[in-house]
Amino acid sequence: METIYESLRKKGISRRDFLKLSAVITASLGLSPEMFSDVVYALETKPKPVVIWLEFQDCAGCSESFIRSTSIFPSEVLLDLISLEYHETLMAPAGEYAEQSKLEAINKYKGKYILVVEGAITPTDGGIYCTVAGKSNYELLKEAAEYAAAIIAVGSCACWSGIPGAQPNPTGAIPVYKALKEKTVINVPGCPPIGDVIVGVIANYLILGKIPELDELGRPKVFYGQTIHDRCYRRPFYNSGKFAKSFDDETAKEGMCLYKLGCKGPVTRNACSTIRWNGGISFPIQSGHPCFGCAEPDFWDRGHIYTPLSVVSTGISSKEIITAATIGAAAGVAVKWLGKIGKGEKND
Ligand code: SF4
Ligand code: F3S
């Protein structure tokens, strides 16, 4: 199989642009500048990573986000960086030909392909609530996971069971890591995740040849090591106790902190306030909307989106929020909110 460099050269990308891309990849993966030559070497010599992408209980929003990756890799370059062997939404074959090509890819690239899973799994009642080509989602997941070199759960449905798993969870949806207890699953949550983050995790595996360092919930630290709040540009308002009181008054126009309007940024780990969305143009808070914690487990079942964090977590009044909204208080609230989360707790 051709290398990424060969593939890019065929597309007419110059050596200069290739080196620029290598520099962007080095920086975006949080690697030190000394790693630049290793990145160049990997892109020049390693074959394009084979990716098999399965979709189960999902809305395809993560696929949409993936193909709109722009800031790390323009979308036209993206498909030269990986060999996407199976993806229901993006591939040309359909029906039995599609299924056949997937099985051929699994056999041909045994132990070498990256399996990406989008959507929650439902083993309930023999998995009949989500089937593809007559096979249950659970069966399809096991079949593809058996020989995968790495497994990446993309989106909050695959990572935590997301909206399919929201109460009352009628199909008994579970996240990928619970369906594959014997495997290591890299969790890339978000509803959807940032496209550049999805591509960055795949690129990280390609270049370093191993899964990235993960936190206690299986998330790559390079992208999920900080909260939205840690790097939010509205943080100075938060620190000085200046909060927007509604979405359409002077406090909102002045861009004050959205904590009182329900922002879950202090307890949400994601790269929105650093990488941002749509090629780094903006993210929810920059557009005037609070973060509602879409990358965290159970976000859908944690009370109203616009209910302030301290009320959701502690039941204290909105008047108290103003006095409580200091860094220390928020940290305490975060501990209580996050205390309900834990890998292995959900749906057990
Ligand atoms: Fe930004 Fe939300 Fe933190 Fe305010 S509470 S500084 S809007 S992340
Ligand atoms: Fe989701 Fe919050 Fe980012 S709602 S998209 S994690 S700002």
Give residues with Cβ within 8 angstroms of 245, minimum separation 6.
251, 252, 260
Answer whether residue 333 shows pLDDT above 60: no
Answer whether residue 316 shows pLDDT above 50: no
| Residue 265 CA, closest ligand 2 atom number | 2
Residue with tokens 């199989």: 1
Q: Which of 116, 174, 176 lies closest to 148 in space, CA to CA?
A: 116
Q: Tell me, using a 6 A CB cutoff, whether residue 205 lines ligand 2.
A: no
Pocket mutation for ligand 1, best pick of 287, 291, 322 (most atoms within 8 Å of C-beta): 291
Other CB atoms within 10 Å distance of the CB of residue 274: 15
pTM: 0.86
Cross-strand pairs, 86: 52
Give 312's pLDDT tier (boundaries 50, 70, 90).
low
**Torsion on CA atoms 303, 59, 139, 108, rounded to nearest 10:** -130
Architecture of the domain whose range is 4-222: 3-Layer(aba) Sandwich (3.40)
Name the residue with the closest Cα to ligand 1, atom 3. Answer: 229
Answer whether residue 293 shows pLDDT above 90: yes
175: tokens are 């996240």
Residues in the chain, how many?
348
> How far apart are alpha carbons 63 and 87 in whole angstroms?
9
**Max CA separation in the chain (angstroms):** 63
Q: What's the whole-number mean pLDDT along residues 130-137?
A: 94
Q: What is the pLDDT of residues 37-80, one digit of tens each?
A: 988 998 899 888 899 999 999 999 999 888 877 655 555 556 67
| Residue 285 CA, closest ligand 1 atom number | 7
In this prediction, what percent of the chain has a pLDDT beyond 90? 58
Backbone angles phi, psi at 158, to 5 degrees: -70, -35
242: tokens are 């200046």
Q: What is the pLDDT of residues 9-45, one digit of tens each?
A: 887 888 998 898 888 778 777 778 888 998 899 889 9
Instruction: Report CA-CA distances (Å) from 76 to 103, 186, 243, 278.
Output: 27, 25, 42, 15
What pLDDT does residue 2 have?
80
Q: What is the pLDDT of residues 230-277, one digit of tens each?
A: 999 999 999 999 999 999 999 999 999 999 999 999 999 999 999 899
> How far apart are alpha carbons 167 and 300 in whole angstroms?
9
Say if CB 173 and CB 158 are below 8 A apart. Answer: no
Q: Which residues in 239-268 are b (16+ Cβ under 10 Å) and which e? A: eeebbbeeeeeebeeeebbbbbbbbbbbbb
Name the residue with the closest Cα to ligand 2, atom 3. Answer: 272
Backbone angles phi, psi at 89, to 5 degrees: -80, -35
Architecture of the domain whose range is 229-343: Irregular (4.10)
Listed by start position, the domains of the chain span 4-222, 229-343
270: tokens are 């994601």
**In angstroms, what is the span from residue 285 Cα to ligand 1's centroid?**
8
Name the residue with the closest Cα to ligand 2, atom 7. Answer: 291
| Residue 228 CA, closest ligand 2 atom number | 7
Q: What is the pLDDT of residues 193-242, one digit of tens each?
A: 998 888 888 888 887 788 889 999 999 999 999 999 999 999 999 999 99
Q: Nearest bound ligand to CA 272?
A: 2
Where in the chain does DSSP place strands (E)? 50-55, 83-87, 114-118, 131-132, 135-136, 150-154, 185-188
Residue with tokens 């189960």: 56
What pLDDT does residue 17 have?
84
Name the residue with the closest Cα to ligand 2, atom 1. Answer: 294
What pLDDT does residue 73 have?
59
> How far apart are alpha carbons 177 and 121 in whole angstroms?
10
> How far apart are alpha carbons 310 and 321 in whole angstroms?
7
Instruction: Report CA-CA distances (Å) from 169 to 96, 181, 264, 337.
Output: 31, 21, 23, 21
**In angstroms, what is the span from residue 226 Cα to ligand 1's centroid?**
13
> In terms of pLDDT, which residue wins out, 117 or 91?
117
Instruction: Report CA-CA distances (Å) from 191 to 3, 181, 295.
Output: 32, 23, 6
What pLDDT does residue 29 have?
73
**Of all residues in the chain, what percent are helix, strand and coil, respectively (each to 5)?**
45, 10, 45
114: tokens are 């990256």
List the Cα angle 288/192/109 in 5-degree steps.
155
Q: Which of 174, 121, 120, 177 lies closest to 151 in space, CA to CA?
A: 177
What pLDDT does residue 325 have?
43
In this prediction, what percent of the chain has a pLDDT beyond 70? 86
Q: Tell me, using a 6 A CB cutoff, whether residue 272 lines ligand 2.
A: yes
